[in-house]
Each structure stands twice: as C-alpha cells, then as structure tokens.
Amino acid sequence: MSELVQPLEWDQEEGGGWHVLVRCPECFRLSRLRLTAQQARKFRGTMEEAAHSLESTADMLDLQVFRETYIGFVQALRDGLVWPMDF
C-alpha cells in the first residue's frame, strides 16, 4: 500500500479517537485506521497543507495558461489574424 492515502470516511469514537476509512490511490485498496485525537489532528493538518499546495500549483498553472493565451491573442492581433467579424 502507498504512503499516500485518501480519507473517505471519518467516524469519531466516544473516547475522542477516530476510525478513518482510507483508500490507496495506486491500488484502490481500502483500509480502516484507528487514530488518536492527536494523530487525527496531525493527519488533518497534513491534508490541509497538501490541499494548499495543490491549490497554489493550480493557481500558478491557471495564470501560466492565461499568459500564454493572452500573448498568442495579442500576437494574432498584431499579425492581423483576428478581425471584428471573428467575434
């Protein structure tokens, strides 16, 4: 099983611990983890950091695609390849 897991379900125990159903993103095997409250907080923090990193990367890629599209459009205007009737 991969070290990367995707949490699917979180169920809190009476004592403050958690049962977490996770899936391996490589083989799709399901496993159930039992975490203490402290482990659950650390796991959640790690997931939040990863989500923030993914969002930052997606924003950077989105901006890069916008810039490339903008540059191509401006060049097409300069080269006379775009006309008012194109819209």
Amino acid at 76: A
pLDDT at residue number 1:
56
Please report, for the chain, the start and end positions of each structural domain, with discontinuous segments joined by +.
Answer: 6-80
Longest CA pairwise span in the chain (Å): 71
**Residue 30 · residue 21 · CB < 8 Å:** yes
Structure confidence by residue, pLDDT tens digits, 9-46:
999 999 889 999 999 999 999 999 999 999 999 999 99
pTM: 0.68
User: Measured between alpha carbons, how far is 80 from 36 in angstroms, rounded to an integer?
Assistant: 65
